[in-house]
Chain A
Amino acid sequence: MKAPHASYYAARRLLVPTLLGCLLVNCVSITAPPKSGNVLNPVVAKVKVGNVCGTAFRAFLDGLDVTAQFSPVAPSSATTQATFPGLSSGTHTLTASAEVQHWALFPYCSNASDTATFKVNADTAYMADCRAQGVPIPPDWAETGTSWVNQGNLNTNGGGTNLLLGADDAHVWTYTDPNVRGACVALPRGSGGPGSLAGIICQSATTGKACFWDNQRKTDPTNVLGWSGQRLVISELVDGPIMAAGGNVGGRCTNCHSGNNVFLISPDDPTWAKVLRGPLNGGPSGGQFTTQLASGRYTPLPVGVTNWVNGVASGSNCGGACHELPPSTIRTMRNNVNAIPPVNRMPMPPACAAAGCIGSP
């Protein structure tokens, strides 16, 4: 066997430190979750970090900074990890970066990063049903660190458009699915402490199907979790099938949420106006968000449950711009609740309807 040429050894002396330095010591490498993998909650993320020489380690999950969730907090020549307990179903992207020491004949400091895209399957049977029927499925709700956006408080600007509870706080949050046309609206109410209710409704703009969640866990449905400082894990919450059977404490949603679409909106309230029209509803920055249906009428999921239906007959509308005429009991409630005059409250068309101010579905 012929001995290798001396140049071979020279090249190896140059290349081996370079490769070893990059691959084993000096890179940033995501080792978990597996790239392009399918994983379940809780998702454990592990990142190998080389010798940090400049900008410290940083990690982003779906664009949100999750660096602080990793331990050790300032890794160098170590594996750092974090656990994400309640990621929503669907595709997520984890990116990690740091300035680390590289070798190419001599050591130098340079940025290194790695990205892992993975899928989480956290659907309950109800979530899977909703998803299959074109309804956008929201991420877990929290005041920070999620894709939910706070649009405002119905109790500001004079209040009174919190339909059921008058001048109590009711905060409107929206979630825009990047791919599914429709809307998710969360309405956390009151102070946010234990006992404060928060409901979430999502509606498909294409199929008209709508899905419901409330902030009680299925395992303890009379314990209202509150929402301030809380993370509401969608898959754990009381949902449509439970509500349809009277298993929640908020009441049967479809008693009031009826008409041509599921959302009960006071169109000229400044907060609701942002949701009903403008960029959030078909505009250039609104993406897939719309509170309206492309055609037809909304249908609550699950279907086939007695008294869990959209009970308002088509045609008995008040202009068709917003909502149709609700049952007399609801009209009575609307006209009496907290003695607030029923101006600009559902289901009347917005004052600007004639000018075409409602966004296109």
Chain B
Amino acid sequence: MRNISIKGAAALFLSAALGWSSVTGAQAPEPIAFIGHGAMFDDTGKQIQATPAFIEKAQAYYIETLSAQLQPSQKAKFSAERERYFKTYKRSGDGGGQEGVKQDTLIINAALIDWLIKEVPQSDFGDLQGKNNLIKAKLRYRLFPPEVGAPYAAPQELMNLLKHPLPDARKD
């Protein structure tokens, strides 16, 4: 039995969130301009296909943009807790294989965005929450081959981890 750490996969998002590198600049247009009937659209009104690459890119954008607005204490808490997510969660066995690990990374990122949405004051909280909810809905189905589109059940260990969300940094 092998344990696959997804720490490496998280490195991109860790660096992006801390502003160490700018994979997608905050000035770039928002990747999901609006959603409707469960579909995503760009700012020209074109429908976006929810590919793994797009979701990864969109999540990186939202994590970077939102975390850049965190206060230092919030940022420290966010970094520590995100590391806890990625360090604690190691996929046992090879159920789902490497592709399952990739999908789990995207699920964790969605949880991180949920936390950021709550932490960062926004003029339209619900708009971004809806977009992240739609991403989470897409992640309930396999995005990676084989069996793209088949229902995807995240490992129980991950679900348990996500049930205990990051503490509210605003209480500090």
Contact = CB atoms under 8 A, between A and B. Distances in A.
A248 interface: yes
B126 A246 contact: yes
Given A255-B36, A307-B127, A329-B33, A249 B133 contact: yes
A164 B37 contact: yes
Contacts, number: 97
Contacts of A337: 41, 45-47
Most chain B CB within a 10 A radius of its CB, from A189, A223, A246, A307: A246
A273 to B, nearest CB: 21
Interface in A218-257: 221-224, 244-252, 255-256
Contacts of B44: 332, 336
Contacts of A333: 34, 36, 41, 45
Interface residues of A, number: 36
A159 interface: no
A199 B38 CA distance: 10
A255 B45 CA distance: 13
Given A245-B129, A248-B130, A337-B45, A329 B124 contact: no
Contacts of A244: 126
B127 A250 contact: no
B37 A251 contact: yes
B36 A256 contact: yes
Nearest to A166: B47
Contacts of B151: 194
B125 interface: yes
Interface string B20-34: 000000000000011
Interface of A: 164-166, 187, 189, 194-195, 197, 199, 216, 221-224, 244-252, 255-256, 306-308, 329, 332-338
- Across the A-B interface, give the 7 residue pairs with the lowest CB-CB distance, nearest first: A246-B126, A246-B129, A333-B45, A336-B45, A251-B35, A246-B130, A249-B137
8 contacts: A164-B36, A164-B47, A246-B127, A247-B129, A247-B130, A250-B35, A307-B126, A329-B33
